[in-house]
Structure 1
Amino acid sequence: MSDSKPQTVLAVDTVGSSLAASLSYQGMIFQRTTLSRKHANHLTPLISTLCDSVGIVPDNIDQLAVNVGPGPFTGLRVGLAYVRGLAHALSCPVIPITHSALLAHHAMRYVGNQDIPCQHIATLIDARLGQVYFSVYSARNGLIDLHTSDCILDYDQVPDLRNFHHCVTAGGDWQSLADQLSTECSLVPHIAAVSLDDTRDFDAELLVDCHKLTAMTRATSMLLMIDMLQEQGQLDRVDAESLSPLYVRHNVAKKTIDRDSSNPNSA
């Protein structure tokens, strides 16, 4: 049975240079984001300002959500440490969301609204030092499933995405790293709206109709993803002690990608 009142959910994203927090409260979503070089110094004030503008205190939060990566470890550590501490204090559950799944769900909503043929969604996240985090999701009837698990690859290991039927790419790094990747990757349609890296500082008092918003932060997209997963009965929650970042090790990457790309249409 569903709850009689909407849950108040705080989503936190500390991946990359933009720091974002979004709050789902009484059927509306507030979002706030800012550029930050030291997330640890800015995350608490950002969330305090967000809560103040909505007119709540942290004790009013029912659930927490956080981007668990893959991504830069320093940023991930800040977000997870904050959410873990707050979850302890509030005795509330945490919804861990992987970076690649977030990109894929956002792309799924976009292609559905635009009637773009899509059976596979390939995500790419810059891992630096000439490497990327790569994954592929299968898309069917508005649902997505993990097809190729998150793995770390050298630039020249990224497969020819034309082997994945009706594939689109999700994530701004497909474009920023286009010159370093194989030319075959650039021939696959890219969903530009899925970069989720807008760095404007939104008025915290702005009520956002997220289904029409063009400048959507990753934290806001996390909240929409949570609603979708809850409707599908696929929402996973963990306690504070079980919350951990998604580590992707290089020594399993090649085996994973070789196995999955050898049968690209298996999903």
Structure 2
Amino acid sequence: MSVILQIETATTSCSVALAIDGTVAAFKQVNERNIHAEVITLFIDELLNTAGLTYNDLDAIAVSCGPGSYTGLRIGVSTAKGLCFALDKPLIAIETLEAMAYGILSDKAIAINSNTLLCPMIDARRMEVYCALFNHEGVMVRPTAADIIDDHSFSEFLNNHKILFFGDGADKCETVLGSNNNAQFLPAFVNSAVHLTQRAVEKFNNKEFEDVAYFEPYYLKDFIAGKKAL
């Protein structure tokens, strides 16, 4: 039996899930800016108490590792690494965009066929997004990149495929790409630790673990601090 604690803090969503043998037993999340550090450890305590488990009952900790919010990623990865060090448990890292794609693939209400591509998008700034493309089986067909979206974005794929755009970066792209009949936008998608479940248990079974001492979030771009307005 595998008991995996899953942490997602790459966007405005702060989410924690507890998966037992690849099935989510409990989860807790809130979609609000600048609240991650305040609630993440409380959420973890609540999940373990609800499940009647202790920290020592965990077999591994999985974390959404980016790209995404610099601060959010630091909080999530630091929490995961701290638990791994303290409990001597393995660390599993899952790219945020990949987890988002698996979240859509697991939603039976969304029609997906072999000609459908998935494009998870995370808001960067202005018209820039972090994004990638996945096929109907969750295989990456276009690597993760920081893209500035314009009228020609994804044109080579939109000519022959329906693309589902989703995530907090997709909303601002709809006005630019929405006129294409092959572009479909999925509203109200929220990143969740639940989306890590399938890849987390696969990596656990294959012993695909990170070096806790040296692991860092996947920022994709260097952090640039802004100046506070006077």
> Could you tell me how far apart the structure 1 residues matched to 2:194 and 2:131 are?
23
Counterpart residue identity of residue 169, structure 1: F
TM superposition shift of 1:243: 2.4
User: Could you tell me which residue of structure 1 aligns to residue 112 of structure 2?
Assistant: 116
Task: Say if 2:126 is the partner of 1:154.
Answer: no
Percent identity over the alignment is 21
Q: CA deviation at 1:183?
A: 4.0
Structure 1: runs of 5+ lacking an equivalent: 1-5, 198-217, 251-267
Higher share of residues assigned helix: 1
Aligned partners of 1:15, 1:177: CA distance in 2, in Å?
20
Letter in 1 for 2:29: T
Q: Determine which structure has the larger strand proportion and give its number.
A: 2
State TM-score, norm by structure 2.
Answer: 0.81
Residue 167 (1) aligns with residue 141 (2): no
**For the Cα contact (< 8 Å) 1:70–1:133, is it kept in 2?**
yes
SS in 2 for 1:124: strand
Deviation sequence 1:152-196 (CA, Å, 0-9, x none)? 1113263235135243333243235423x3345674133457x13
Gaps spanning 5+ residues in structure 2: where? 223-230
- Which one-letter code corresponds to 1:155 in the other structure? I
Q: Quick one: which of 9, 15, 20 aligns to 1:14?
A: 9
Return the alpha-carbon distance in structure 2 between the equivalents of residues 224 and 124 of structure 1.
20
Normalised by the length of structure 1, the TM-score is: 0.71
**Separation (CA, whole Å) in 2 of partners of 1:185 and 1:82:** 42
Quick one: structure 1 residues 248 and 185, their matched pair in 2 at CA, closer, same or farther if it must change by over 3 Å? farther
Cα separation, 2, equivalents of 1:164 and 1:240: 42
Equivalent position amino acid for 1:248 in 2: L
Aligned-CA RMSD value = 2.8
Number of matched pairs: 217
Cα separation, 2, equivalents of 1:60 and 1:13: 20
Q: Which residue of 2 aligns with 1:222?
A: 196
Pair 1:163–1:187, CA change in 2 (3 A): closer
The offset of 1:101, in angstroms, is 0.4
